[in-house]
Amino acid sequence: MTTATPPPKRLATRELILEHAYELARVGGLEGLSIGTLAADVGMSKSGVFAHFGSREDLQLAVLDAAARRFMERVLVPALSAPRGLPRLRAIVAQWSEWGREHQSGCVLLTAAGEYDGREGPLHDAVVAQQAGWRGELEKSVGQAAAEGHLRADTDAPQLAFEIYALMLGLHHDAGLFGFAQASQRLSAAFERLWRSWQA
């Protein structure tokens, strides 16, 4: 039922803590995440929470990892059931946009990118790895769309992936400041134009 044999309870509370930490980090970022506030939110003692991670930095890394896993499960996995090529690319964008709607108040991954892009250390490295991985997935799907003949054969996959990502950044930015509805409309219009401009 639970995980194999070793620690049955351990992981359960750890997961509970991470869930609360994730919500707190959405608003205040990973830098704004404090163990005291987190402990109060979970309903545990500071040291009890602390013991699960060993350091604040490890907690932040764990939250970042949890966010990345959620994102993949929420965006990429559902989209994989769409046929490869442009339909899957559209599905990715649709799921991603839905993710954006649910995360108007802040997305841990994007906030982290802003928080650590100018520094160095484990968190910076983790953010870069996460972002590079996701960009790779995007490029892969773009490449498949070209291979399937849905986009021009000479499509520059990294280039189109960059433009897709940029539009999603635009969505997040505008949704957070000016409201999701308007931003979502602009996003759709932009994508229709984008697909057309890369069509075979």
Partner DNA sequence: GCAAAGAACGAACGATCGTGCTATTTTTCG
Partner DNA sequence: CGAAAAATAGCACGATCGTTCGTTCTTTGC
List residues near DNA by CB under 7 A. 5, 7-10, 13, 33-37, 39, 43-52, 54-57
Distance CA 181, CA 36 (A): 36
Residue whose CB is less far from a copy of itself, 84 or 186: 186
Smallest separation (angstroms) from a copy of itself to the CB of 34? 12
Residue 156 interacting with a copy of itself (CB under 8 A)? yes
Q: Between 49 and 123, name the residue whose CB sits nearer to DNA.
A: 49
Please give the Cα distance from 127 to 64 (Å, whole number): 8
Query: If binding is defined by CB under 8 A, does position 127 make contact with a copy of itself?
Result: yes
Q: How far is the CB of 74 from a copy of itself (least distance, A)?
A: 19
Total number of residues shown for the chain: 200
For residue 151, what are the β-bridge partners?
199
Residue 199 — φ and ψ, nearest 5°? Answer: -70, 155
Q: Which range, of 37-45, 94-102, 144-152, 186-194, touches a copy of itself by CB under 8 A?
A: 186-194
User: Looking at this protein, which amino acid is placed at residue 108?
Assistant: V
Structure tokens at 113: 């990118």
Size of the site for a copy of itself (CB under 8 A): 43
Own/partner pairs for 159-167, CB < 8 Å, 24+ apart?
160/194, 160/198, 161/135, 163/194, 164/89, 164/93, 164/138, 164/194, 165/135, 165/138, 167/191, 167/194
Instruction: Give the binding range for a copy of itself (CB under 8 A) out of 7-15, 20-28, 56-64, 82-90.
Output: 20-28
Q: Contacting a copy of itself (CB under 8 A), which of 105, 133, 149, 199?
A: 105
Residue 176 near a copy of itself by CB under 8 A: yes
- From residue 158, give the alpha-carbon distance in Å to each of 26, 50, 101, 165, 169: 28, 41, 25, 10, 16
Site membership for a copy of itself, residue 26 (CB under 8 A): yes
Which partner from the list a copy of itself, DNA, none does 200 bind, CB cut-off 5 to 8 Å by kind?
Answer: none
Amino acid (one-letter) located at 31: E
Q: Which residues bind a copy of itself (CB under 8 A)?
A: 26-29, 31-32, 104-106, 110-111, 113-115, 117-119, 127-128, 131-132, 156, 158-159, 162-163, 165-167, 169-171, 173-174, 176-178, 183, 186, 189-190, 193, 197
